[in-house]
Amino acid sequence: MDETLTGASAYRPRPIAGDLAGRHIVSVEQFARPDLDALFADVSRLRARTRVSDASVRHLCAGMLLATLFYEASTRTDMSFQAAMLRLGGEVIAASGGVQFSSVYKGENLADSVRAAGCYADVIVLRHPAVRSSYEAAYNLDQLADRLGRRPVVVSAGDGVGEHPSQALLDLYTIIDAKGTADGLRVTLVGDLGNGRTVHSLAKLLALYGARNTRLDFVSPAALRMPREVLRFVQERGFETHETEDLMSVLPESDVIYWTRVQEERFADPAEYAAIATRFVMTPEVMSHARADAILMHPLPRKHEMGTEADHAVLDADRRSVYFHQMENGMYVRMALLAGVLRGGV
C-alpha cells in the first residue's frame, strides 16, 4: 500500500458555504454554523421520515452509485454509509474481496484507485491510513472531472490520525439531541487524544459550531495528548480548555463524557502501547461518579478501555450511555450528507 501523498499537497477543501452539492467532504473545517444547522435539520427530517418508512426517501439518491474504498478496518462507518446510500435508494459497490484484493495488492497507488472508483461511481467513501489522503483523493477526482464530464466526490471516512469528519458530525448531532444544546456544557474527552481522529474532529467541530460557554477537558496520558494544532484551533475560537491526567478532577462535573480506545494500530512499539493501554478504563464504578444527567459517548469499537464484558453489560443498561444512539444517528447523518453532496439536500 502506498502511503505517500503526491500532487495534492496544495489542495484546500472548499467551504460548504450554504451548499453541499458537489462538495468533497474531507474536513470539519469546511463547516460553519449555518451549514451545521441546515445539515442537522435535514438529519432530523430524514430520521423522522425513515422511522415511519416514508417511501419517498428512497427516491432521494435513486440512480446514484456509491463506491467504498476502505484501506483500514471498519464496521460502523462502512456499514452506515452503505445503509445510508441504500435507504436513499442509491446503490453501493466495492472491490469484491475488499481493497486488499483489489489492484492495491499489485502496488497501485491511492490516486489511481480513487480515479478508478470515480470512473464508476458518483461518490466515493474513503478510509485510508495516511493523514490528508482524502485531500489527495479530492484533488485527483477534480483532475478527472473534465474528462468524465461529471464530478464524482469523495467523503472521508477517516484519514489515519488526522480527521473523521462524518463521525464528528454524528457526535455533535447526538450531543445536541441528548442535551438539547451544545452551549454551557462541560465536555470531557478521555483516552488516546493523540492518535484518535474522532476527538480531533469533534473538538474542532464544537469550536466551529460556536458552542457558547462550553468548556473542553482533555484527559489523557502525557504521551497521548491532544495535538497542539487542535488545541490552538479551539483556543483561537474562544474555547476554555484544560488538560489533565486526573480523570476524577473533571469527571463528576462533566455533562458529556467521550471515551476513546487507545489506538493500538498506531503504535510502532507494542511495549509503549502496553504501558498506557489500561491507564483510563471506564467501568460502572467510574461511571458512578458522573452526574445523573451526564451522557457517556464512545465512537466504538470498544475494548478493555470500557472494562470487561460484564462491565459492558452494566454500562449498556445505564441510561446515560448514548453510544448506540451515536451509531443510529450516524446513519441519518450520512444520509443527509450523501443527499446533500449528490442532490443538494433533502
User: How far apart (Å, rounded) are the C-alpha atoms in residues 248 and 199?
Assistant: 20
Identify the CA nearest to 47 among candidates 61, 37, 38, 57.
57
Burial class, 317, CB count within 10 angstroms (exposed 0-12 / middle 13-18 / buried 19+): exposed
Beta bridge partners of 257: 188, 296
Shortest spacing between CB 224 and ligand NCD, in angstroms: 13
Read off the DSSP letter of residue 15. P
Q: Which of 47, 215, 261, 334 binds ligand NCD (CB under 6 A)?
A: 261
- Total residues binding ligand NCD (CB under 6 A): 11
User: How far apart (Å, rounded) are the C-alpha atoms in residues 120 and 312?
Assistant: 42
For ligand NCD, the closer CB: 197 or 279 = 197
For ligand NCD, the closer CB: 191 or 340 = 191
| Residue type at 291 in one-letter notation | R
Alpha carbon distances (Å) from 4 to 87, 99, 104, 127, 227 = 35, 17, 14, 15, 21
Asked if 200 and 162 count as a contact pair (C-beta separation under 8 A), the reply is yes
Burial class, 273, CB count within 10 angstroms (exposed 0-12 / middle 13-18 / buried 19+): middle
* SS3 state of residue 142: helix
If one asks whether residue 197 binds ligand NCD (CB under 6 A), the answer comes out as yes
For ligand NCD, the closer CB: 90 or 191 = 191
Shortest spacing between CB 286 and ligand NCD, in angstroms: 19
Q: Which of 13, 152, 158, 160 binds ligand NCD (CB under 6 A)?
A: 158
Q: Which of 19, 32, 45, 76 binds ligand NCD (CB under 6 A)?
A: 76
For ligand NCD, the closer CB: 49 or 298 = 298
User: How far apart (Å, rounded) are the C-alpha atoms in residues 228 and 220?
Assistant: 14
Q: Which of 27, 174, 198, 254 binds ligand NCD (CB under 6 A)?
A: 198
Residues identified as active-site: 76-77, 106, 127, 164
If one asks whether residue 200 binds ligand NCD (CB under 6 A), the answer comes out as no
Asked if 236 and 269 count as a contact pair (C-beta separation under 8 A), the reply is no
CB atoms within 10 A of CB 296: 21
The 286-325 site mask, x for binding ligand NCD (CB under 6 A), equals -------------xxx------------------------
For ligand NCD, the closer CB: 113 or 166 = 166
If one asks whether residue 204 binds ligand NCD (CB under 6 A), the answer comes out as no
Shortest spacing between CB 123 and ligand NCD, in angstroms: 18
For ligand NCD, the closer CB: 140 or 201 = 201
If one asks whether residue 164 binds ligand NCD (CB under 6 A), the answer comes out as yes
If one asks whether residue 191 binds ligand NCD (CB under 6 A), the answer comes out as no
Backbone angles phi, psi at 13, to 5 degrees: -65, 145
List interacting residues with ligand NCD (CB under 6 A). Answer: 76-77, 158, 164, 167, 197-198, 261, 299-301
